[in-house]
Structure 1
Amino acid sequence: MTRFVANNQITLLRNGEEYFPALLDAIASARYEVHLQTFIFEADDTGLRVAAALQAAAQRGVSVHVLLDGYGSRKLTRTVLDGMRAEGIEVTFYRPQISPWTLQRNRLRRLHRKVSVIDGTTAFVGGINIIDDLNVPNGMPPRVDYALRLQGPLVKDIHTSCVRLWQRISWANLQRTHSSRVPLALLDNPPPGQLRAAFVVRDNLLNRRAIERAYLKAIGNAREEILIANAYFVPGRRFRRALVSAARRGVKVRLLLQGRMEYWLMLATHAFYRQFLREGIVIHEYHKSFMHSKVAVIDGRWATVGSSNIDPFSLLLAREANVMVLDADFSQQLRSDIERSIRDGGQQVHADDWERERWGKRVVSWLVFGMVRVILGMLGHSNKH
């Protein structure tokens, strides 16, 4: 069951333009401890600024721990890594890079969450990697993505999650671990706020379907509107049934999906267009740039921001982290921003056009979807990490 905690301060951050200044300010004010966990850490201008801020924190005696995914951060240069480690920053990798052509059972079990905690009092959770917004091809506009800045009682849960994951991976890699240096007085006396929120993780131990269940419960309770903006959307059978059931009982269901094909596996998204469009579900594709969002608003009072896509890799394999918020004002703020993306860069997919003009794409999408299922079957399931 999703555990909501009251009295939190939560700020919605759109894109790196808002996220990175907030993150850098928080790191600059750190006194005790910084945890940063991310899928991608790129050695571009943004990544170098974050690395410099972490090094400066370590130089003044802050305990800094950086956990990176071995595949997502495979391009991080030795110069940046050595520079951070030379200042006493502990850097470790979740699953070293494995060849994309290797069908090892655990290859797709990645650290996909993007979570940072500073001094156990300020946390950042979302979908934004440590990479510049303009690190996109062909001079396109910045990618669209979101994160949250949190203060309040929920941060203690996030801090505990980061420390435990760090310790677990350190043990697995035969590295030394640490106890948190944050004073208990800070953890137990957070600044008060007004919002109810839950920190929901997906792992391969006790929380295999926690994020999916939270989504399904909110969708099942929806009475007016479901608005989902998700970059990689290949929902499983239960998720598809929940959306169709909501549409049939009169809920307005709208999807904002990635229109640009970053990876060929994204073609599997189109396999469900025909069914959804026939059921009255409205689909918009974002073509202006890359949309990396993993957010949703339901009935104007339930919202989520995080790292989890709605596909089998996020919902069944990767380590993910989302925050669910129960608040009308926050939900309306996020809803308005999604609406802006629809207006500025979205193109609606119409049922008649899809039926008449996209038959080839429909065939390819089902072939790719079949391949996804075969790959998942070959990779199997594991409890490791």
Structure 2
Amino acid sequence: MKTPLRKLFFRGAGLVSGNQLRLLQSGVEFFPALIAAIDVAHSEIHLETYIFNVDPSTEAVRDALTRAALRGVRVRLLIDGVGSRELPAAWLDALRTAGVSVLRYRPLAGRGWRSNPKSLRRLHRKLAVIDARIALVGGMNLIDDFEPAHFDVPRLDFSVEVQGPLLAGIHQSARHLWRLVALTQLRAGESRPPLIQPSWPTDGHVRAAFVVRDNFAHRRDIERAYLAALALAHDEIILANAYFLPGYRFRRLLKNAAARGVRVHLLVQGHTDHPFFLAAARALYHDLLAAGVSIHEYQASELHAKVAVVDSHWATVGSSNIDPFSLLLAREANIVVDDAAFAHDLRQRLHHAISQSVPLDAAGWQRRAWPHRMLSWLAYGGVRLMVGLAGVGRWV
């Protein structure tokens, strides 16, 4: 690909050269990497998550954080007020007693939080930064692969272990968000930990960008990164997303890509713990299938991934779903990668997952019983209503 066109793929992404990246799949790879990094920390740990569950895998993370704090490491744990609302107070008390600083992002206020549109603005980022030397960024919550235990195969999800100059931006983002939450909760004493300088190996070669979504200066950055890649794709698009409910522009680019001969594969949930949102997503399938987009419903286990590969060199791994809640409301963080080897690795894993999926076809999908189609459109309308009530503007 010519350099000018390649640059357009990453327009606005802020690529940084010289990084080492390692793709991690499911908790079987993620938790050992996270705990190993925590266990060698000597200065500072920032850990952000939407869900912090109570199970054997997360007990190991809790114990690692405790060990780090007891040996004098500054440990900052930021959890979401909705996603981690069931985390026992005894757990948090034990962490604080050990010296871990814990903050809740937008903690719940009263019993009416479910009906409050502002409660949709969540911390959905999943990242860890250890000593400003290594980071893990992706879609994996702190929850065991088999919780709840419905499948024999681990939950399909991904994270990226990052070392290199990209750490500067990731570390700054984690510190800034911690300081912001601490100040809004009148925790000034927590707001300005001593600054440590990022460090990294010098032999990395991967170009990558850290792309966030917030409700201030970066409202559309993750969405724009996707749209730029989809608009220029000429060979193949593979998109795996747990909650796939894109707006009109995103759908149009997928259909346009299929029309110009691009192989477009969507890997979506076949099983879900949120049937309302799956029903809403299915309202969009026929239009995409009729345009030549291939849709595969994953069957082997729960799909929680938020990843994509375009033309064997552009890839992204992160926390952002392709739905209005991630793209318009939540705080999210993705890594966007310009590297053929990384993209090939992710592509191979996704094609394996596709082989464990059920392909949908336009004719069969249109023949679904009318109650199922009606349910999908009612759910889709319900999602649009929720987005409208949240007051975030047009979902396009």
Aligned partner of 2:184 in structure 1 is: 172
Match of 1:97, SS state, is coil
The reply on whether 1:378 has 2:384 as its aligned counterpart is: no
Specify which of 346, 350, 357 is matched with residue 368 of structure 2: 357
| 1:313-352 Cα deviation digits (max 9, x unpaired) | 0000000000000011110100000111111x20000112
Q: Tell me, what secondary structure is at the counterpart of 1:51?
A: helix
How far did 1:139 drift?
Answer: 4.6
CA displacement at 1:215 relative to structure 2: 0.1
Kindly state the Cα deviation for residue 357 of structure 1 after the two structures are TM-superposed: 3.0
CA 1:310/1:189 → structure 2, altered by over 3 Å: closer, same or farther? closer
Matches within 5 A, 1:340-355: 340-343=352-355, 345-355=356-366
Q: Residue 2 of structure 1: SS of its match in structure 2?
A: coil
Q: Assess if the C-alpha contact under 8 Å between 1:121 and 1:151 holds in 2.
A: yes
Report the equivalent of 1:328. Answer: 340
Query: Distance in 2 between the 1:37 and 1:209 partners?
Result: 21
Contact 1:229–1:293, Cα closer than 8 Å, also in 2: yes
2:84 maps to which of 38, 48, 73: 73
Is 1:122 aligned with 2:134? yes
Could you report, residue by residue, the CA deviation over 1:222-281 in whole angstroms, capped at 9, with x for unpaired residues? 011100000000001111111111111111111000011321222111111111111110
State the Cα distance separating 1:189 from its structure 2 match: 5.6
Partners of 1:105 and 1:381 within 8 A in 2: no
TM-score normalised by L of structure 2:
0.93
Q: Which runs of 5+ in 1 are unaligned?
A: none
Mapped to 2, the partners of 1:177 and 1:342 lie a distance apart of 46
Aligned twin of 2:28: 17
1:59-138 counterparts in 2 under 5 A? Answer: 59-97=70-108, 99=111, 102-138=114-150
Q: 1: CA distance between counterparts of 2:151 and 2:225?
A: 37
CA distance in 1, matches of 2:213, 2:196: 28
TM-score by length of 1: 0.95
How far apart, in 1, do the equivalents of 2:344 and 2:201 lie? 26
The answer to whether residue 330 in structure 2 is matched with residue 300 in structure 1 is no
Determine which of 214, 218, 227 is the counterpart of 1:207.
218
Separation in structure 2 between the aligned mates of residue 358 and residue 336 of structure 1, nearest angstrom? 35
Does structure 1 retain, via aligned residues, the 8 Å contact 2:16–2:208?
Answer: yes
Q: Counterpart of 1:106 in 2: which secondary structure?
A: helix
* C-alpha deviation, 1:301, in angstroms: 0.3
Identity of aligned residues (%): 47
Alignment partners' CA distance in 2, 1:378 and 1:95: 19
Question: Which whole-Å CA distance do the structure 2 matches of 1:57 and 1:250 have between them?
Answer: 53
Structure-1 separation of matches of 2:28 and 2:278: 27
2:246 aligned with 1:219: no
- Correspondence for 2:269 among 254, 258, 266: 258
Which range is displaced more, 372-381 or 163-172? 372-381
CA RMSD of aligned residues (A): 1.5
1:4 aligns with 2:50: no
Match of 2:54 in 1: 43
Distance 1:237 1:354 in 2: 20
Q: Per-residue deviation at 1:180?
A: 4.4
Q: How many residues align?
A: 379
Q: CA deviation at 1:360?
A: 3.1
Report the secondary structure of 2:114's partner residue: coil
Correspondence 1:160 to 2:150: no
Unaligned runs of 5+ in 2: 1-11
Distance 1:155 1:258 in 2: 32
SS of the residue corresponding to residue 96 of structure 1 reads: coil
Question: Aligned with 2:120: secondary structure?
Answer: coil
Residue number in structure 1 paired with 2:379: 368
**Contact 1:228-1:297 at 8 Å conserved across structures:** yes
| Counterpart AA for 1:179 | R
Distance 2:21 2:373 in 1: 41
2:133/2:199 contact within 8 Å kept: no
